Structure 1
Amino acid sequence: MTQSSILLEIDQGIATVTLNRPNNLNSFNVEMHERMREAITTIRNDDSVRVLVITGAGRGFCAGQDLSDRSVSPDQEMPDLGASLENYYNPLMRSLRDLPMPVLCAVNGVAAGAGANIALACDITLAARSASFVQAFCKLGLVPDSGGTWTLPRVAGMARAKGMALLGDKIKAEQAESWGMIWRCVDDEQLMDETMKLARHFAVQPTKGLALIKQALHASTTNSFDEQLELERDLQRQAGQTDDYREGVAAFMEKRTPDFKGK
């Protein structure tokens, strides 16, 4: 499927979604949200897909919301930004978090506002050395959204989260890596090569087991220790019933490379 604002390519188990409004720094408008929703639905319903890669076209990853898509002129009623979150951004963040596969993000330039929080919410995020992350909301009198107030304290710590959210300073990719916000910072020309190397790795891994790992890690942020132990028991029971577990054990015993099917 190819749409003007979202490009989707599926090849050898890897789905690549490219945010494709480069002249607007890939900022989101309603049409782009709708195309993104269609792309994620296609990915979820395609059993061949075992990993998702998200990146941006042109010189930036995503500048968040396209401000020109909303009117705030004095002679018109103010837009309901809560409705925008409820109808578009919140479903997007939930769908990315709940995808039963690894979600990789290649940040190829500035990631600002919701764009930064989309990138930080992915399972593994790589960024070009020239990339940066900006919590630009405070400069508009707004609150970080797209899960930003949940994600930032967890990936950067509360002190850094407050500094980023209240000051809106640009955080370069190398600093984001040193703070533990992203997995790796790489040279610009190596970004997609390194990202696709990871994607090819995940495309032949036990996808069902990886999805259960994601589920357990997400739940750990709110579970008590005893609740987490019980969840691990339940998820391990599911994992132990998969063909990939049987194949993994057989390959280990036979000293060969496993042939995981992702089921």
Structure 2
Amino acid sequence: MSGPPVVVERDGAVAVVTLNRPERRNALDGKTKTALRGALEDAAGDGAVRAVLLTGAGRAFCAGQDLAEHAAALRADPAHAFDTVEEDYAPVVRLLATMDKPVVAAVNGTCVGAGLAVALACDLRVLAEDAVLATAFGAIGLTCDSGLSATLTRSVGESRARELVLLGEPFGARQAVEWGISGQVLPPEEVGAAGRALAARLAAGPTAAYAESKRLIAQAWERGLGATLAAEAQAQARLGLSADHAAAVEAFLAKRKPVFEGR
């Protein structure tokens, strides 16, 4: 392997987090999972970071769990071989889904298993037109983890999710978008730049409002109409006191473009 398993760089207010095991299609071994969690924790806690871009080095986004490492864990101690699901995968997905800033996935090439779950935990996606996606768990006698049973179902609907999980057939980027997995589909050589541009656009936007919106959308599945209306009213009241809102209203009245500072 060349270099660290996860590379982090700053592009203005965007933290670009790159899985960096191209020779293993960015499969997630222990060091990579630890580094990814740390990178996302740092980005989430850094006030200067206003958006995150997650991608993979080389010709893959992420091939999911490193099965060579998993096989060794099974041979050594099968009772604890799956501790990683709660200790590593759950925190990574939770960070992506709940951090108070938008996260974009630039999906190049292979995106399967936990890799697919990670991509779906992001807020927006840019997909290479030759990307190959699959749930993959059934092929090795397992079920979903990393939130995939929820995120896939919410994206494509229950019937399609059952088909994709039980049959495990791979599908392409255009199928993904047609079925409800949001995203732009672009030539492979354009995905990285498009992902950066989208993340930069979000970083320049009303990030405090984005954070409230992420929470409202995530919790919408658990609330009735009354609770949703109340939660929206509370969120609007909080944002109504923000500097961004006041400045944007004045900018609108003055017919000039607002400048958002995330506060």
| Contact 2:44–2:95 (Cα < 8 Å) also in 1 | no
Instruction: Name the counterpart of 2:155.
Output: 155
- Say whether 1:129 aligns with 2:118: no
Q: Secondary structure of the equivalent of 1:151?
A: helix
After superposition, the C-alpha distances for 1:66-86 in whole angstroms (9 at most, x for unaligned) are: 011123598644253441111
What does residue 193 of structure 2 align with? 193
What code does the residue aligned with 2:232 have? E
Alpha carbons of structure 1 residues 247 and 163: separation in structure 2 relative to 1, 3 Å: same
Unmatched segments (≥5 aa) in structure 1: none
Q: Using the TM superposition, give the Cα deviation of residue 211 of structure 1 relative to its aligned residue in structure 2, in angstroms.
A: 0.6
1:11 Cα deviation from its structure 2 partner: 2.5
Alignment of 1:27-66 (within 5 A): 27-66=27-66
Give the structure 1 partner of residue 21 of structure 2: 21
Instruction: Return the letter of the residue paired with 2:151.
Output: T
Tell me the residue number matched to 1:252: 252
2:96 paired residue number: 96
1:112–1:136 Cα contact (<8 Å) kept:
yes
8 A Cα contact 1:156 1:179, kept in partner:
yes
C-alpha change, 1:81 and 1:236, in structure 2 (3 Å) is farther
Give the TM-score normalised by the residue count of structure 2.
0.95
Q: Any idea what SS the aligned residue of 2:17 has?
A: strand
- Seen in structure 2, the aligned counterparts of structure 1 residues 241 and 22 have a Cα distance that, compared at 3 Å, is same
How many residues were matched structurally? 261
Distance in 2 between the 1:98 and 1:24 partners?
28
Q: Is the 8 A contact 2:19 2:57 kept in 1?
A: yes
AA aligned opposite 2:218: H
Whose helix fraction is larger, Structure 1's or Structure 2's? Answer: 2
Cα RMSD of the aligned pairs, angstroms, is 1.5
| Counterpart in the other structure of 1:229 | 229
The CA deviation at 1:16 is 0.4
Moved over 4 A (4+): 72-76
1:87 aligned partner:
87
- Whether the aligned pair in 2 keeps the contact of 1:72 and 1:79 (CA below 8 Å) is no
CA–CA distance in structure 1, aligned partners of residues 119 and 179 of structure 2 = 15
Q: Per-residue CA shift, 1:153-187, capped at 9, x if unaligned?
A: 11011111011101111110010011111322112
Name the structure 1 match of 2:142.
Answer: 142
What is the CA distance between 1:95 and its match in structure 2? 1.1
SS at match of 2:185: strand
CA distance in 2 between partners of 1:208 and 1:178 (Å): 30
Structure 1 contact 72–78 (Cα < 8 Å) conserved? no
Alpha carbons of structure 1 residues 160 and 192: separation in structure 2 relative to 1, 3 Å? same
Q: What residue identity is the alignment partner of 1:54?
A: L
Q: Which amino acid aligns with 2:65?
A: Q
Q: Which position in structure 2 is the counterpart of 1:166? A: 166
Alpha-carbon contact 1:212-1:235 (below 8 Å) kept: yes
Change (3 A) 1:22 1:253: same
